[in-house]
Amino acid sequence: MDGREDQAVAPMRDPAPPAVPRPLYTTPLGTMYVADAMDLLRGQPDGSVRLVFTSPPFPLVTRKAYGNAPAGEYLDWFLPHAREIRRVLAPDGSLVLDLGDAWIEGTPTRAALPQRLLVALLDGCGYHLCQEAASHNTAAMPAPAEWVNVRRCRLKSALEQVYWLSPSPFPEADNRRVLRPYSADMRRMIARGTETRRRPSGHLQKAAIAKDRGGSIPDAVVACGNTDSRSRYITRCRAAGHGLHPARMPRPLAELWIGLCSQPGDLVVDPFAGSNITGAVAEALGRRWICGDRDPGYAGDSRFRFEPEPVLIGDAARDGTGADPA
Ligand SMILES: C[S@@+](CC[C@H](N)C(=O)[O-])C[C@H]1O[C@@H](n2cnc3c(N)ncnc32)[C@H](O)[C@@H]1O
């Protein structure tokens, strides 16, 4: 994904979260906490959240720097979070999950953990599957290196699954909020108009297709390269001598889902926020947000995403929490 694994990253750490969520900084629309995800969720009233948009620690078979659960325990670990998210979601709210790759250790075969998780969410937690989507890293590294780069028996894994779930089959959503600029071809067709005709596929293409409706409807696959290298977050982390979060989500992915599934003024929550792209995009789009990460270093450095930069509050300001000791 955008910026993932490509720069100097923060060192391995597995910090114990504080006993209660600890606010780290606030902005006009949101608050970032150092918190265990369950504690953060438990603090939200029933039905108060329009969108939980999150990329939880991935169901990886080998452990990552930021402390993902071992594969065999992943569902047992994640499902209580999913039930708590269901409780805090508004009846027409959404849970959008961005999940990474899952390979079986030592073999070039895939673990079906994301798929098992999806079935458990549908069968056991009362979610509807609104859409399966994906994030396509157009600048993906050749990973897993052993199979892709060394033995050359697999292709680059450049897709991450995105599952859009909701307690309702009809959650709040409007794709007119996330229209893209028309392609040159489409602009030409709008300019000259077209006749109703049947395409080779049998699909009837009506003349009205050439009407200007403000932009094209995006695909459910967001394609992003690694274009993040000069972002404010990266520049400020570098200037502070701090490692970058190792699994940053591409901004266009957050823009699409927050724009689609929430309205200005709605509350967006990310309990595994890392470098807090969720909060930064929610703020830019006029949504209220509550985000948290159990790692004070990641959470603290996420303030670099905001302009003006929020001031650390309380204990964090006094003891310098958020300053990556690396
Ligand atoms: C995949 S990363 C999220 C990255 C984020 N979307 C971004 O763009 O920066 C998962 C994050 O979950 C955090 N995490 C892991 N276990 C947690 C827990 N129990 N409670 C809160 N955060 C946790 C990790 O510190 C890590 O930053």
CA 217 to chain centre: 20
| 271 alpha carbon – ligand 1 mean position (Å) | 8
Structural tokens at position 157: 């894994």
Distances from the Cα of 113 to the Cαs of 45, 80, 145, 177, in angstroms?
Answer: 30, 16, 20, 32
Contact, 273 vs 24, CB < 8 A? Answer: no
Which residue owns the Cα nearest ligand 1 atom 14?
Answer: 272
pLDDT at residue 7, as a whole number: 43
CB atoms within 10 A of CB 71: 18
253, with CB counted inside 10 A (0-12, 13-18, 19+), is buried
The answer to whether residues 50 and 261 touch, using CB atoms and an 8 Å cutoff, is yes
Contact 299, 279 (CB under 8 A): no
Could you give the C-alpha distances from 236 to 69, 121, 143, 231, 253, in angstroms and in order? 30, 38, 28, 9, 22
Six-digit token pair at 303? 């303030």
**Can you give the pLDDT of all 326 residues of the chain as single tens digits?**
333 433 455 544 566 777 899 999 999 999 999 999 999 999 999 999 999 999 999 755 555 555 556 556 889 999 999 999 999 999 999 999 999 878 888 899 998 889 999 999 999 999 999 999 999 999 888 988 999 999 999 999 899 999 999 999 999 999 999 999 999 999 998 899 888 888 888 888 888 888 899 999 999 999 987 667 789 999 999 999 999 999 999 999 999 999 999 999 999 999 999 999 999 999 999 999 999 999 999 999 999 999 999 988 876 665 555 544 43
Q: Which atom of ligand 1 is nearest to the CA of 249?
A: 8
Rg of the chain taking only CA atoms, in angstroms: 21
- How far is C-alpha 33 from the geometric centre of its chain's CA atoms? 17
CATH dotted code for 22-180+217-319: 3.40.50.150
Q: Which residues contact 121 (CB under 8 A, 6 or more apart)?
A: 79, 82, 127, 163, 165
Q: Which of 294, 303, 304 to mutate to test the pocket of ligand 1 (most atoms within 8 A of CB)?
A: 294
What pLDDT, on a 0 to 100 scale, did the predictor assign at position 2?
A: 37
Would you give the DSSP letter of residue 147?
I
Q: 3-state class of 161 per DSSP?
A: strand
- Among candidate residues 2, 36, 98, 295, the one labeled active-site is 98
Residues whose beta carbon lies within 6 Å of some atom of ligand 1? 36-37, 55, 57, 66-67, 245, 247-249, 271-275, 277, 293-295, 298
Query: What spacing in Å lies between the alpha carbon of 87 and ligand 1's midpoint?
Result: 21
Task: Give the residue extent of every domain in the chain.
Answer: 22-180+217-319, 181-216
State the DSSP code for 273: -
Q: Rounded to 5 degrees, what are φ and ψ at 61?
A: -85, -30
| CB-CB neighbours of 113 under 10 Å | 23
β-sheet bridge partners, residue 222? 135
